[in-house]
Amino acid sequence: MLQMIPLYVQILGNLLFCAVFLFVWRQSSIVYFGYWSLAWGVESAALLCLYLARRNNSTFWSTLHALLEFGFALSLLAAARLGSERKKSNFFLSMRVLILFPGFLLALWLLGWNEQYRFEPLHALVLSGIYGYSFHTLRIRHEDGIGLGRGLFQFTLLGLAILFLHDSAAFFYVQLHGFVPGWMGYLNYVHLYDFALQTLLAFSALALWIEDQSGYITRLSNELDSARRESAAHVDLDHLTGLMNQAALARSMGDPAGFAGVAAVCDMDDFKSINDRYGHLVGDEILRNVGNLLKTSVRAEDAAFRWGGDEFVVLFRNQNMDVARSRMEAIEERLRAFRVRGHGVLPITFSWGIAECSGGRLRESIDLADQQMYQWKRARKAGRVQ
C-alpha cells in the first residue's frame, strides 16, 4: 500500500500541472502550453489506469495505461514540433495523430509489451527522446534571448530527458536479468523523482508566461512611444510644404533659452496673381517645391517654417549674417529657374530680410527680419531693386 503513495501523489500532481498549463495557454494563446495541458490530462488518466491495473492485476487496464502513455508522448511530441508559437488553428489539426492509438494498442498487445517491466523501458526511452527534442527545439528557436523562466524551463526539460534515459536503462536491465536487484529498489519511487522535476517545470512555465507577457508589454510600450513621437512630429508639420508649421515656430519664438544665429523671413512676390492666373493647383505645386527647396538648402541643425500662406521663416543656427545672406541669395537664384509642369519656366521671386540674434529672444529678430523683408518688397515694387 505504501508503494502506491507516490503514484497517488503523481496523479494529483499531474491534474495540478494540467490546470497550470491550461491557465498559461488560455492567458498567453501559446499553443505549446495547450499541448502540455493536454499531455498532463492524458497522463493523469494513464496513471489512474496504472493504479487500477496494479490493484486488480488486470491486463485490460495495463493495456489502456500503455495506450494513454503513448497519447501522453504524442502530445509532448506535438508541442515540441510546434514550439512556443501563437497558432491556434494548429491545435486541433494536429490531433489527427489520435487515429494512431488503435495501432499502438494492437502492437503492444501482439508483442506482449503490456507488462510493466517490458513496457516501461520503451516508454521511458521515448519520453527521454521527446524531452530532449523539446529542449533542443526551444534552445534553437530562442537562442537570441533566454530569460530566467525560459532557462529554467529548458533546464527542467533536459533534466527530465536525462532522468527518463536512466529509467530506460534501469528497466532494460531488469528485463534482461528477469528480476529486480535489491540495490534498484529506488525504481519503486521513480514517480517521485519525476514529480519533482514536473513541479519545477510547471513553475518555470508560469515564469515563462510572465516573461512573455512582460516582453509583450514592453513591445507595446515601444510601439506606443514610437506612435507618440510620430504623432508629435506630424503635429508640427505643414502637410503641404513638408516644413515645420506656425505652431512649431511659435514655440521656438517663446523658448526662454533664446536663439543664437540668423533669422530670415521671406515672402513670395505677387503670389495671389499666380493663383488667379494659373489656379490653386499650380499655386500648391509652387509652395510644395519652395518648401522642398528650403529643406534641401539648410543644414540639419537649421530649421525652416511655413509661417502662413506664402511666407516662410528660416533659422540659421550659429551662423553669421554674411553666410546667411549668401544662402538666401542662392535660394532666390534657384527660384528664378523654377519650372511648372505644363507651363514651363515660371520665374518666382521673393523678398526676404535677415536679422542676427545673439542668444536673445527669437521673436525680436523675426520682427526685424520681417520689417526688412517688407522694405525690400516695397523697394522692388518701386523699381529701386531687381
Give the pLDDT band of residue 28 (cuts 50, 70, 90).
confident
The cell numbers describing 16, all together, are: 495540478
- Which residues contact residue 165 at a Cβ distance below 8 angstroms, ignoring those fewer than 6 apart? 124, 125, 128
Q: Which residue blocks in 236-320 are alpha helix, DSSP H?
A: 246-253, 271-278, 280-296
Mean pLDDT (whole number) for 238-267? 88
* Homologous superfamily, domain 246-381: Reverse transcriptase/Diguanylate cyclase domain (3.30.70.270)
Q: Is the pLDDT of residue 307 over 50?
A: yes
Q: What is the CA radius of gyration of the chain?
A: 39
Going by C-alpha positions, the residue among 85, 222, 208 that lies closest to residue 141 is: 85
Task: List 357's β-bridge partners, or say none.
Answer: 261
Q: pLDDT by residue (tens digit) across 56-89?
A: 888 788 778 777 877 888 888 788 777 655 444 4
Q: What confidence score (pLDDT) does residue 77 get?
A: 79
- Say what the pLDDT of residue 36 is: 86
Each residue's pLDDT tens digit, 148-166? 777 888 888 898 899 889 8
The alpha helices in the chain, defined as continuous H runs, are 5-28, 31-56, 59-82, 89-93, 101-111, 116-141, 148-177, 190-235, 246-253, 271-278, 280-296, 321-336, 362-381
Assess whether pLDDT exceeds 90 at residue 354: yes
Most confident of 60-64, 109-113, 236-240: 236-240
Name the nearest CA neighbour of 198 among 41, 375, 1, 14.
Answer: 14
What confidence category does residue 366 fall into, taking pLDDT thresholds of 50, 70 and 90? very high
Average pLDDT, the chain: 79
pLDDT grade for 105, boundaries at 50, 70 and 90:
low
Considering only 10-19, 23-32, 113-122, 225-234, which range has the smallest mean pLDDT? 113-122
User: Which has more pLDDT, 133 or 261?
Assistant: 261
**What is d(CA 53, CA 61) in angstroms, rounded to the nearest whole number?**
5
Of 12-16, 326-330, 354-358, give the lowest mean pLDDT range. Answer: 12-16
Domain boundaries, the chain: 2-228, 246-381
Question: How many Å apart are CA 381 and CA 378, to the nearest integer?
Answer: 5
Band of residue 117 on the pLDDT scale cut at 50, 70, 90: very low
Predicted pLDDT of residue 89: 44
Q: Between vectors from CA 371 to CA 368 and to CA 377, what angle results, nearest 5°?
A: 140
Residue 26 gets which letter from DSSP? H
Lowest mean pLDDT among 210-214, 216-220, 369-373: 210-214
Please choose, from the candidates 264, 255, 271, the residue with its C-alpha nearest in 3D space to the C-alpha of residue 294. 264
**Per-residue pLDDT tens digits for 186-208:** 766 666 777 788 888 888 888 87
pLDDT at 103 (0 to 100): 58
Calpha distance 70→127 (Å, rounded): 9
Instruction: For residue 351, give the DSSP letter.
Output: E
Contact 370, 311 (CB under 8 A): no
pTM of the complete model beyond 0.85: no
